[in-house]
Amino acid sequence: MNFDDTPQEAAFRAEARAWIQANAPKQYEDELRKVSLGRTGLKNANMLEVAKAWQKKKADAGWACLHWPKEYGGRGSSPIERVIWQQEEGPFGRLSGMFIIGHGMCGPTMMAFAGEDQKRKYLPPLASGEKVWCQLFSEPAGGSDVAGLRTRAEKKGDDWIINGQKIWTSGAHYSDYGILLTRTDPTVAKHKGLTMFFLDMKSPGVEVRPIKQASGQSDFNEVYFTDVKIPDSQRLGAVNDGWNVSLTTLMNERMSIGAGVATGFPELFDFCNSLMLEDGPAIEDRSVRSRLANYAVKASGLRYTSMRAISALSKGERPGPENSIGKLVAGSMVQEVAMYALDLQGAAGVLSGPEDAEVAGKFQAMLLRAPGTRVEGGTDEIMRNIIAERVLGLPGDIRVDKDVPFNQIPTKGRA
C-alpha cells in the first residue's frame, strides 16, 4: 500500500507540472482557489473567455481531452494520466466546468456512434473548446424518468423534423452543438421508441430561454424546438435505438472521477478556525468540534474512496457504479455545511451581500445553490437506487409502464 507514482506516472506528472507552471493563467489562480459552490465566476474577467483561452492553449500543446485519441484532438493517455493531470491542474481545472458535458458525455457518444468524417470534423474543435456542446435529454415530463420524454422527431424525406421542449440544459445559452434524445415512435413501449441526434444549436427553430433558478442565478435553460430540421446523417445509432445510445452517454459520466466533489468541509474548517464566539474561538467549542469531526470523516472518506478508485484505474480496472456515492454524500453534506456555517453566524447569518456577510457571503451562496446539487445529474434517490440495484443486487422497481405503448401511459396524476 502506497501513494507513490510508478516511474512512468512520475515522468508524466513532471512533464504536466512543468507545462502548467509555464502556461497557466496565474493571474486568476487566487480567485480560482476561492471558488466554492454558488460562487464560480471571476470578478474582473469573463469566465467563459478565460476558460476558452485556457482550453485552446492546452489543446495546441496536446493537453486537452487527454484520454481521447490523438486524431480527435486528444492525447491518447491512460485513465490514470488523466487523473494525474487533474491533480496537477489544481485550481485551473475549475475553468473546465463549461466543457465537462461536452468532453465527458457528448464527445464519447459521438466517438461511439458518429461517422468517421463527422468525428474528424466535430471532435477536435470540441476538444479545444472552440465549440461548446450541450446535452438535451431532460424534459418537463422526463427528469429522473428520462425515457418518458415527449419531444417528437418525424421523418420527412432525408430530414427529421423536431418539435418539443427540453429543460435543465446546462450551458445551452453558450453552446454551439448539442446531442438530442427524441421520441420517434410513440406506439411502442417508452424505451423502444427513442432516437438520438446531434444538431447545430443555431438551427432555425431552436430557442434557448435561461431558467432563473431558486438561487437567483441562471446556469440552466429551457430549449424549445419548433419544426427544427436535422439531416438523417446526424442521427446517432439506429432509429428507435436511442435508449441504448443514451446509456453510453451516461456510462461515460461515471468515468469522470478524480477531480473530487465539493463537500464544503475545507471552507467550514477554515471558517471555524478563525471565528470567535461569545465564549471564545469556535474551534474550541465542544459542539462545534463534534460537528466538524463528523464532516471531516465524510470528506476524508470520499477522498480516500476516490483514491481507491484511482488505484483501480492505475491497475487497468474500470470504476464501477460504486462511485455514485461521491455525489450522494457530497450533495447533502454541502447543504448541511452551509446551514451550519450560518447557524454559527447567528442573526448576522441572514445577511448575504458580499460586503456585509461573513467571508463575503460564501456560505449564503452555498446554501442557496445547494438544493440543485441534490437533484442535478441524478437525484439523491436515483443514486440510492443505483447503489441498491447495481452494487447490492436488489431487484429493480416494478415498472408499471414497461410494456405499455408510450401513447397509452397516463400523463396526469389526479384527474
- Contacting positions for another protein (CB under 8 A): 1-5, 9, 80, 269, 273, 283, 286, 289-290, 292-294, 296-298, 300-305, 307-308, 310-312, 314-315, 322, 325, 328-329, 381, 383-385, 387-389, 391-398
Name residues whose C-beta falls within 8 Å of residue 392's C-beta, 6 or more positions apart in sequence. Answer: none
Answer for the pair 264, 338: CB distance below 8 angstroms, yes or no. Answer: yes
Tell me, what DSSP letter sits at residue 405? B
Name residues whose C-beta falls within 8 Å of residue 352's C-beta, 6 or more positions apart in sequence. Answer: 361, 364, 365, 368
Looking at the Cβ atoms of 224 and 269, the one nearer to another protein is 269
Looking at the Cβ atoms of 87 and 407, the one nearer to another protein is 87
Looking at the Cβ atoms of 57 and 303, the one nearer to another protein is 303
DSSP reduced 3-state for 228:
strand
- Would you give the end-to-end CA distance of the chain in angstroms? 61
Name residues whose C-beta falls within 8 Å of residue 130's C-beta, 6 or more positions apart in sequence. Answer: 52, 56
Answer for the pair 188, 404: CB distance below 8 angstroms, yes or no. Answer: no
The three-point CA angle 6-95-341 to 5° equals 95
Answer for the pair 221, 101: CB distance below 8 angstroms, yes or no. Answer: no
Least spacing, CB of residue 63 vs another protein, in Å: 21
CB atoms within 10 A of CB 103: 27
The length of the chain is 415
Integer-rounded Cα radius of gyration of the chain: 23
Least spacing, CB of residue 252 vs another protein, in Å: 23
Measured distance CA(131)–CA(136) in Å, rounded = 16
Least spacing, CB of residue 328 vs another protein, in Å: 6
Least spacing, CB of residue 9 vs another protein, in Å: 8
Pairing of strands 133-136, 177-183: parallel
